[in-house]
Structure 1
Amino acid sequence: MDPAPLATQIIEAYDGMPAQLQTAAKYVLDRPGDVALLSMREQARQAGVPPATMTRLAKRLGLDGYDAVRELYAQAIRNGRLSFAGRAGAQVASQKAKGEKALATDIVARLNSHIERLGEPGTLDRLTDAAALLASARRVYCLGLRSSHTVAWHMAYVLSLLGEKAVLLDSTAGMGMDPIRSATAKDALFAVSVEPYTRATVEVAHYAHRQGIPIVAVTDSAVSPLAQVARSSILVSTDSPSFFHAMTPVFAVGEILAALVAGRGGDASLKALRQTEDQLNAFNIHWSPQDGRRF
């Protein structure tokens, strides 16, 4: 595996660093993409250290200043080295140096931080606006591929409990996108994708936009290809100490929206849920304590 720039040097020097330098070093190790893209002051703010600490870290690593660190990481992005493989190298080195419990603790803390942001006023406004759009739609076409598939599937599943509102755009037999041709401006597309964005999801979203179909996007940037065509966008953070991006915040948005849409259905939702329960009971779908007596 090709580690991120300076990963080996940081791990080797980490134990001998003062506490503030360790904090800055951990930021660089865990968030290589941000090192290339964000200003030094913004990185220092996110790491919780003074900007001067970032400069001290660069010099500790044998560089003239922090701009040299950023350039190394920017070059790595341009060369494609900060892909999953590059981040994996950084994680493996970090995990070996600090231990698995420390890594797990870091992941939990990062996930908690991401989910807490969903409760910020601006995000809550976007969530309720998106729920209103989905609730008013005749049909909700749900699309998420690869790691985003479970979010779209869960949205479609929950809405299916409320009647015939949801249409899951899946890729079975290569025909999964076909139902979108029946969508109109009275419907909505619920589209989910985070970087690296799945090409098919982006293409379907752009098709829907050209057809005048309102789009609710769950994505990770205001400039993502989904956000650019969406009527309503919910932005989530997906960075993680792991080399995989964090999908838990994305899934949480899906659950929140599904709950809000269901609640907006009022008596109609309650009636549909009663019908669903009757059918599930008729087919004996769920395990009950009586089943345990058979074992």
Structure 2
Amino acid sequence: METGPLNEKIIDAFPEMPAQLQTAARYILESPGDVALLSMREQARQAGVQPATMTRLAKRLGFDGYDAVRELYAQAIREGGLSFSGKAGYQVASQKARGERALAADMIASLSLQIARLGEPASLERLVQAAELLAAARRIFCAGLRSSHTVAWHMAYVLSLLGERATLLDSPAGVGADPIRAATEQDALLAVSVAPYTRATVEIAQYAHGKHVPIVAVTDSAVSPLAQVARVAVLVPTGGPSFFHAMTPAFVAGEILAALVAGRGGEASLEALRRTEDQLTAFNIHWTPQDGRRSS
């Protein structure tokens, strides 16, 4: 994700801010290009706060008013500190007016830019650090619910092909979080959630943090409740032309982490995959061309 000139200052001050200021601060963290380009009223509208809240936030950060904040971000753009990339069509209504093909094209372009950001040096460093932490763990507990469930489930599934190190904290009987009680400092928790954060995932992460279990978070903000307790936070964007969150970047981050962890296993990973393939063959799991010929 893009980094604005006030990121560090906002993150430090964030825990002590009132709720409305936190909402405005999150907008600045997640949309630094818009801070320079849009009017204060439009930014307030997109953030879901009153314009006066933006002014109060500016003064909380030590500025006379919000115009000074906008000028700081405009200067960052002029000096190359921010890019215009990733401005993924915030005017949903106008995109719809251009037609469904245009909206689909905008979504593809937006997702392409978001995924490309994962290849930036800072993001790559976080991915490598996260993979190192997970690979060193005795067991990996994976937590992700609602829209984030697919990320956690896929991570647990891929790692299950390499042995029994991964445990998915989810079950239809409502006891999905129970296995985390056995986690120790030798284990790790992969927690996935984006705003609005799922309460159960946050509570699992906070519980694990209290037991000194190392946490890797895949989340959307440096001030998300998961990032606050994580040893390593992999930040993924979720904005886009659609009404819904873009979960593709989070899924890509999960796939990268699974691949890196598997690769760190070396020969042990290869041997585990051989055993998995033998089992899949024995149970005739996958369709083959012979199946088609038999049914014709």
Normalising by the smaller structure, the TM-score range is 0.7 to 0.9
Q: Which letter maps to 2:125?
A: D
* Cα deviation 1:231-254 (Å, max 9, x = unaligned): 011001110100101000000000
| 1:67 and 2:57 aligned | no
Distance (whole Å) between structure 1 residues aligned to residue 25 and residue 138 of structure 2:
44
Residue 159 (structure 2) aligns with: 159
Distance (whole Å) between structure 2 residues aligned to residue 35 and residue 102 of structure 1:
31
The alpha carbon displacement at 1:292 in A equals 1.3
Name structure 2 gaps, 5 residues minimum.
1-22, 51-90
* Cα deviation 1:152-210 (Å, max 9, x = unaligned): 00000000000111000004211000000011110000000001100000000000000
Seq. identity, % = 66
Residue 15 (structure 2) aligns with: none
Q: Which letter maps to 2:97?
A: A
Residue 34 (structure 2) aligns with: 43
| 8 A contact 1:36–1:73 mirrored in 2 | no
Closer, same or farther: CA 163–68 of 1 in aligned 2, 3 Å: closer
Distance (whole Å) between structure 1 residues aligned to residue 213 and residue 35 of structure 2:
42
| 8 A contact 2:158–2:258 mirrored in 1 | yes
User: Equivalent residues in 2 for 1:86-165 (5 A)?
Assistant: 91=92, 93-165=93-165
Closer, same or farther: CA 169–245 of 1 in aligned 2, 3 Å: same
Residue 271 (structure 1) aligns with: 271
Closer, same or farther: CA 179–42 of 1 in aligned 2, 3 Å: same
| 8 A contact 1:111–1:248 mirrored in 2 | yes
| SS of 2:225 mapped into structure 1 | coil
Closer, same or farther: CA 277–204 of 1 in aligned 2, 3 Å: same
Residue 192 (structure 1) aligns with: 192
Distance (whole Å) between structure 1 residues aligned to residue 96 and residue 120 of structure 2:
36
| 8 A contact 2:114–2:249 mirrored in 1 | yes
Q: What TM-score do the two structures reach when normalised by structure 1?
A: 0.74
| 8 A contact 1:35–1:73 mirrored in 2 | no
Distance (whole Å) between structure 2 residues aligned to residue 280 and residue 72 of structure 1:
53
Residue 172 (structure 1) aligns with: 172
Q: What TM-score do the two structures reach when normalised by structure 2?
A: 0.74
The alpha carbon displacement at 1:122 in A equals 1.1
| SS of 2:189 mapped into structure 1 | strand
The alpha carbon displacement at 1:94 in A equals 3.0
User: Equivalent residues in 2 for 1:25-40 (5 A)?
Assistant: 37-38=27-28
Which of 1 and 2 has greater Rg?
1
| SS of 1:152 mapped into structure 2 | helix
Closer, same or farther: CA 192–292 of 1 in aligned 2, 3 Å: same
